[in-house]
Amino acid sequence: MPNNKKEKIKKYFPAVFLSFFYSVVYTVLGPMIAAQDMRLDWSCLRPFIICFILCTAINLFVLWAVPKLCLWLRSHSERGVISQFFNKIGNRKFFLLVWIFLFVSWIPAYLNLYPGVLSYDMISQVGSALSAISSNHHPILHTWLIRVFMNLGQELFSGYEYGLGLLSLAQMVILSYALARLVLLLKKREVPILLVLLTALFSAGWFMNACLSVTMIKDTLHAAFLVLFVCHFVEIVTDPSEYFRKKRNLFLFPMISFLMCAFRNNGIHIYIFCFAGLFLLRLRQIRKAKAHIALIAVILLAPFMYMLYTGPVFTFLGIAQTESREALSVPIQQLQRVAMKRGEELTDEQSERMKYYITDLAWMEAPPERYDPFWADPAKSCFISEHYDSDPMAFWKFYLQIGEQFSKEYMVAFLSNTLGFWYPGYYGFSYVMYDNYAPEMFVVPLERKSIWRAQALETYYESLCSSDFWRETPVLRLFFVPGFTFWFLLYGVVLAWKKKGFFTRIFPLFLPLIAQYGIMILSPMSSFRYSWPFYLMLPLILMAICEKERTD
């Protein structure tokens, strides 16, 4: 009898725990943080109970049905007509078909939004591209690409917009290639063919991919090379010996990894996290495999290239590094919240130290002007990076001292700034970079010159990107609200938990998702643009849950 009880607890505990956790977040903690009212309101007890009961029923069904559905799909896929057809045409043709399909499906967005969506970053980047590139605040490789294509358009067609149109086209080609590569990887890992095809259809039909593929922003190319990096990383995880035997990988992998890092400054952190995690999970195997030494050398090559690029190359070109405050969104928010909420409790020495790091303390008297609990940029604008750079250890000592004294304010500041990444009821910054800025805001007038100006299509994209309908509608909102990213990750891990070799074979597949989520919660706001790469990598969860069991 005791054994039966233990088995039942093991069976039902994940469903009950996830239900309790989600209900607390959705009905209690999330609303409290959103309202910035930390008092527990007992009126939320009823919604909590209802949510807990519904979630428990749903979770019990999901945790029972998903494994069975995967088995059913796999057994039917292996002998199905569709599977036989795609196996017959081979991987190369399958990849080309998916690549062409994705690219063609985004052409309406390209024609309508031509030469591309001019996002707010473009205002400063165009100025740098047409004069001197002197700062890595926006990755210089992306700014340099903008310069090359704008000048190309001016030389060939007497218009900078035509060059940006070519850059949009290049972004579409690279992003569709990367997603086709990921779809092919699902097929190679023997994920049921129906799920593989649904992934291709979703990648093509999800309008956010179409809009962002032609948006002039660094995230687009970073996301494309991140997906390519993930494909190579998965192949290294699953069969390093086979990966090493393909000599082209020893050239492709460092280049793809370098470009992933160069197109967004925090790409290097994803790279280091993934391989540090893999190293720890595979430590025993690495000790026994001397043949992996060459592969390890290749893995170390990408960060070496990046350090060379951001070090001696930047120095030679006179490029200034990104200001320190760009990487300190969370601690800056926490310190400023303490100063605003509990400033009268600080000692004179602490107040002086706070003013040393934070200029213009006027935000303490007028918080809406300088402090937004859900957006760190206003707070960062008051932070003096030079004082931090002169003695980083002194800053962190002060930061930890204040944190020990005001731990509650630190926690609330962190939860507020990351609210949109864990609370599905909040989507304040859940928009796609669709708005075009007025031509006169740029150094040279830039305007959209649609090749195919279909009013219905333009209205369609505008409503999809800015309408809250998609974010408020159950089920649909899963792919429009960044707050679901955390739950996708958590449920994916729980569903894959019982698979053979979880820690050595399965869990490494989650490392890129965990790394990306870590980057997201350290960002200045819970914007959809930061969670978009996470959504592109969601097929990793399908792979972890549904791929065919390995006997090796």
Position 183 scores a pLDDT of: 97
Predicted local distance difference test score (pLDDT) of residue 500: 85
b/e code 150-185 from CB counts within 10 Å (16+ = b): bebbbeeeebbbbbbbbbbbebbebbbbbbbbbbbb
Handedness of CA 418, 423, 424, 426 (dihedral sign): negative
pLDDT of residue 303: 94
Amino acid (one-letter) located at 329: S
Q: Which 8-state DSSP code applies to residue 271?
A: H
HSE at residue 507, side-chain half, CA atoms within 13 A, is 15
Q: Which helix (H) or strand (E) holds 107?
A: helix 107-113
Burial of 242 (0-12, 13-18, 19+ CB in 10 A): exposed
Q: Say how far apart CA 423 and CA 25 lie, in whole Å.
A: 7
**Which residue, among 548, 552, 550, 497, has the nearest Cα to 71 in the 3D structure?**
548
For residue range 106-155, list pLDDT tens digits in order: 999 999 888 888 887 888 888 888 888 888 888 999 999 999 999 999 99
What's the token pair of residue 393?
A: 């250890």
Sort residue 448 into left (φ over 0), alpha (ψ -120 to 50) or beta. Answer: beta
Residue 241 CA to residue 274 CA, distance in Å, equals 18
Name the residue type at position 198: L
The confidence score (pLDDT) of residue 22 equals 97
Summarize pLDDT for 160-196 with one digit per residue, the tens: 999 999 999 999 999 999 999 999 999 999 898 899 9
* Rounded-to-integer distance, Cα 222 and Cα 228, Å: 10
Distance CA 184, CA 182 (A): 5
Contact yes or no for 216/247 (Cβ under 8 A): no
**pLDDT for the residue numbered 453:** 75
Please tell me the pTM assigned to this model.
0.93
The answer to whether 167 touches 157, Cβ cutoff 8 Å, is no
Q: Are 82 and 197 in contact (CB under 8 A)?
A: yes
Instruction: Write the burial class of residue 512 (CB in 10 Å: 0-12 exposed, 13-18 middle, 19+ buried).
Output: buried
- Sign (positive/negative) of CA torsion 175, 179, 182, 188? negative
Residue 455: Cβ within 10 Å count: 8
> DSSP letter at 548?
P
The predicted pLDDT at position 102 comes to 98
Query: What is d(CA 117, CA 214) in angstroms, rounded to the nearest whole number?
Result: 6
Other Cβ atoms closer than 10 A to 65: 11
What are the two backbone dihedrals, phi and then psi, of residue 320, each rounded to the nearest 5 degrees?
A: -80, 140
Q: Which residues contact 384 (CB under 8 A, 6 or more apart)?
A: 356, 357, 358, 359
Mind giving me the DSSP string for 2-57?
HHHHHHHHHHHHHHHHHHHHHHHIIIIIHHHHHHT--S--GGGHHHHHHHHHHHHH
Radius of gyration of the chain (CA): 25
Q: Give the model confidence (pLDDT) of 216-226 as tens digits.
A: 889 999 999 99
State the Cα–Cα distance between residues 478 and 295, nearest whole angstrom. 38
Write the DSSP assignment of 173-237 as a string of letters.
HHHHHHHHHHHHHHHHTT--HHHHHHHHHHHHH-HHHHHHHTB-SHHHHHHHHHHHHHHHHHHHH
Q: At what angle do helices 539-546 and 218-238 cross, to 10 degrees?
A: 20
Omega within 30 of 0 (cis) for the link into 240: no
pLDDT value, residue 3: 63
The Cα–Cα gap between 516 and 500 comes to 25
**Given this model, what pLDDT does residue 368 score?**
46
Q: Is the dihedral of CA 494, 500, 503, 505 positive or negative?
A: negative
Nearest to 35 by CA among 43, 52, 524, 403: 43
CA–CA separation, 547 and 552 (whole Å):
14
Say whether the peptide bond before residue 539 is cis (omega within 30 degrees of 0): no
Query: What type of residue is 140?
Result: I
CA-to-CA separations, 142 to 126, 129, 343, 543, in angstroms, rounded:
11, 9, 41, 32
pLDDT < 70 stretches in the chain: 1-6, 8, 77-80, 285-292, 360-370, 433-436, 549-552
- Please list the alpha-helical segments (H only) found in 289-347: 293-308, 314-317, 329-342
